[in-house]
């Protein structure tokens, strides 16, 4: 059974801490949730059930999922240029969610992407 750890609101107060004081396994809830969401999507793939939007996407296949990511990316750009901050945030959330589904469809984990970003970060330090 996969265990999903949720942090209580007390941890959210750590947002004021400096970067040095934060450890990767003690991130505020909002920062960790993207990994938890990736795990929820993984669980839906492994245990598909009716009424699940992730399952609907999975059944539609790679082309449809990739198309959704493209649509959400365009909607995010339009919102950035024309809409309110809240609408921009909403479109960005749609984009990130569908991108996470695309990663799962391609069997690429979010960790593999963050490893790539970390590798680049280290290269920039040289």
Ligand X SMILES: N=c1c2ncn([C@@H]3O[C@H](COP(=O)(O)OP(=O)(O)OP(=O)(O)O)[C@@H](O)[C@H]3O)c2ncn1[C@@H]1O[C@H](COP(=O)(O)O)[C@@H](O)[C@H]1O
| Cβ closest to ligand X, residue 22 vs residue 31 | 31
Residues lying near ligand X in the complex (CB under 6 A) are found at: 37, 40, 44, 52-55, 94, 97
Identify which of residues 22 and 33 has a Cβ nearer to ligand X in the complex.
33
CB of 118 to ligand X, least distance (A): 25
Nearer to ligand X, 27 or 34 (CB): 34
Shortest Å, Cβ 40 to ligand X: 5
Q: How far is the CB of 33 from ligand X (least distance, A)?
A: 9
| 66 phi/psi in degrees, rounded to 5 | -65, -40
């Amino acid at each position: 059974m996969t265990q999903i750890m949720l942090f209580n609101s007390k941890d959210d107060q750590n947002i004021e801490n400096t970067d040095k004081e934060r450890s990767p396994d003690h991130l505020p809830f909002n920062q960790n949730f993207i990994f938890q969401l990736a795990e929820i999507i993984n669980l839906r793939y492994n245990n598909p059930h009716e009424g699940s939007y992730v399952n609907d996407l999975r059944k539609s296949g790679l082309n449809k999922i990739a198309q959704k990511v493209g649509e959400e990316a365009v909607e995010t750009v339009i919102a950035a240029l024309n809409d309110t901050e809240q609408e921009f945030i909403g479109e960005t959330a749609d984009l990130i969610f569908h991108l996470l589904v695309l990663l799962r469809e391609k069997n690429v984990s979010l960790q593999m992407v963050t490893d790539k970003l970390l590798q680049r970060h280290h290269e920039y330090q040289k």
